A and B are shown apart, each in its own frame.
Chain A
């Protein structure tokens, strides 16, 4: 028997259901030890569920998981960890008030007393050995996301991990942070750790993984194949599947991240160079409010028919920017003008009347009231803009809503159904139909495609393009650089509440990445 082919992980017919939804369906796969395995798929393909099943966090409805040849009892984190499986979560699983040392300590075994300095010395040594530059006494909540991820990896390596699973580890990283992470992963591989990477970008898969497996709609459509035997086109075809709607080549490339420079179909914009800007922010600084860094001296202008992208590692002031524009954050100095009109002191209602529309970050929290009906959600725009005592005719609103939703191709049963009953893509279309009306002047689209499948993503991009053609100004905030570079006419990078750089096409991903992390390149 040869040791090199020994499987570290064997899944047999694993099926997971959440209510009526089948998240994983009869997945059988086995991974050889000592290699880097990528698992790819669209949002909702079942990647995270797959990772959680292996880690013992989700109890599969059917099927079995074997680790290093031993059957795992279903849904036991402790047994999985004893067998050497550790999971690094997409949104980190570290209590924010803990110090780094405490976060390392709480998952271990044994119940001995400790002093704070002992604890910090012990775990500082562990961090240093992994070459992670974080102080053991710092609190998790004070760390930037990249350090939090390093800490979570260090926590996963507290025990003698044999199989390390990283769920979308690059989602929160700048391109340079991702490269550092990949170096660390290669180092771990040479130390004998098997690694499963959950990814959704083909470029990253081909850069790091030894094998790749593709999930689509909860099914394994391609077992682990060597990355040397597959190319980006074939892989993107496997990920998207036989799509009902043929996609634009560039959109397809952006969706799967299979190329690094895509910018081609811009150029229709900026027709009206002399027209007054739709948005004109001058040296805006906001008051600190404990919810991300405040804006510092932000100047930003958007001309009619222009899409401006905001890139940056999450948590660098993007949310504050949206709140400042929506009159939800206190502006301490500077001015904001909308379509030639000063709105610095206007409340949100006034700004909306002036043409501001927002597709918010959290579709299900800020965007829709999930327990209210579709027509109530849809009517909110008009009701907010009308006077307080104006007469409301529900039947008229219902029929208006119906024709709007039909025009936007929303799949729904009746306008009286609750917004929470729609899928992510359809829910986003409801918001689009409300926020992208004829009177819209400035549209803020905050992560408008997050969590959407490829068809819905292309729909959103198309809608933004339509609005651009109507001479709206569009501010697109996204953590997906491919998306930004594909559809934006100009990109600004935010870092710690400041604008750290402005870029025009053709974009240089390395320079944008450097601006995101604050590295200045010599010209």
Chain B
């Protein structure tokens, strides 16, 4: 039983961090399809940081910095150059996937996976069989709670929501929606970096190209599933992780009877079902509908 929970936490934690980034962007009025790109940039920067600085703190700072800078770029393209945010987000994802491959190719001369000598600090033997989990797993619930407070119980959160839902209302009380979105994207960038770091250095300690494998898009789905609520979206992300872990379990048990590909596809099938359900659940579709249109007259 323990190992199933460990597997769920390992695969769910990176997803939760990236989901929180998607939640804050979405509440500020941006459908963030660049999550995948930021996540892989964070993963790559963390491993390269460890390799070149031999310090996990410096590596994390580099990863957070890279993702924040990329987020500012995304903001500039969307808000200043007025590009379509869906296209710009997909562009950012492409930039992340291609840029990281290019980076390891040009540094190491091959596209092979890059291993790091060590990863994120572990939470320690005090936690028994869970001791091998990284510190970011332990911090994850605190981040979810902090985001809930920030988004639902502070004036900053209200302004963020106003900028997303009704930019003209925000402007008429002196809030600049564009600046609020910059703040949201930069905070989100940092979260994506942590998600990427946990993915590459939490249990694995290596980076390989395209290793995020669509997790950024799954996080995006969790944002919709959770109707833009940080706790709901985090639970949705964990739900996807549970389905994924059970899928791997199922392979071991039913591997010879059920097609392998079908079991591997379970998390993605769960995502589709989740999105479909979110439209059915009371409040889900309604709470989210205001974000599609950006009223500003």
Contact = CB atoms under 8 A, between A and B. Distances in A.
Interface of A: 55-57, 76-78, 81, 87, 89, 91, 93-98, 102, 105-108, 110-116
B47 to A, nearest CB: 37
Interface stretch (B80-88, B163-171, B230-238): B163-171
Contacts of B162: 95, 98, 106
19 contacts: A57-B171, A77-B171, A77-B172, A78-B174, A93-B169, A94-B166, A97-B287, A98-B162, A102-B158, A106-B158, A106-B161, A106-B162, A106-B170, A106-B173, A110-B155, A111-B156, A113-B153, A114-B154, A115-B153
Given A95-B290, A106-B158, A106-B162, A113 B169 contact: no
B290 A89 contact: no
A114 B158 CA distance: 11
A97 B161 contact: yes
A113 B173 contact: no
B168 A97 contact: no
Given A78-B174, A106-B159, A113-B149, A94 B169 contact: yes
Nearest to A110: B155
A-B interface, 5 closest residue pairs, ranked by CB to CB distance from nearest: A107-B173, A106-B158, A93-B169, A77-B174, A78-B174
A111 B174 contact: no
Interface in B168-210: 168-175
A55 B173 CA distance: 9
B179 to A, nearest CB: 12
A102 B152 CA distance: 10
Contacts of A107: 173-175
Given A93-B169, A97-B161, A113 B174 contact: no
Nearest to A88: B172
A403 B175 CA distance: 51
A98 B161 contact: yes
A93 B166 contact: yes
A111 B173 CA distance: 15
Contact of A93 (B153, B155, B156, B168): B168
A105 B161 contact: no
B291 to A, nearest CB: 10
A81 B174 contact: yes
B155 A57 contact: no
Where chain B touches its partner, the secondary structure class is helix
Contacts of A112: 154-155
A424 to B, nearest CB: 15
> Which residue, of B154, B165, B172, B174, has the highest number of chain A Cβ atoms within 10 A?
B172
B158 A81 contact: no
A275 to B, nearest CB: 45
Nearest to B158: A106
Interface in B204-231: none
Interface string B114-156: 0000000000000000000000000000000000010001111
B149 A95 contact: no
Contacts of A115: 153
A96 B165 contact: yes
Contacts of B166: 93-96
Given A110-B155, A111-B155, A115-B153, A57 B169 contact: no
A102 B149 CA distance: 14
Contacts of B168: 93
Contacts of B154: 111-114
A85 to B, nearest CB: 11
Contact of B173 (A81, A96, A98): A81
Contacts of A113: 149, 153-154
A92 B297 CA distance: 11
A78 B165 CA distance: 20
A115 B155 CA distance: 11
A114 B161 contact: no
Nearest to A76: B174
Given A95-B166, A108-B155, A110-B155, A87 B172 contact: yes
A114 B153 contact: yes
Contacts of B170: 106
A106 B155 contact: yes
A110 B159 CA distance: 12
B169 A95 contact: yes
Given A95-B165, A113-B149, A55 B172 contact: yes
Contacts of A95: 161-162, 165-166, 169, 290
Given A94-B166, A96-B165, A98-B161, A105 B155 contact: yes
B247 to A, nearest CB: 36
A393 to B, nearest CB: 38
Contacts of A78: 174
Nearest to A111: B155
A154 B27 CA distance: 25
Interface in B269-297: 287, 290, 297
A77 B153 contact: no
Contacts of A96: 165-166, 290
Nearest to A109: B155
Contacts of B175: 107
B161 A93 contact: no
Of B162, B168, B171, B175, the most chain A CB neighbours within 10 A belong to B162
Nearest to A106: B158
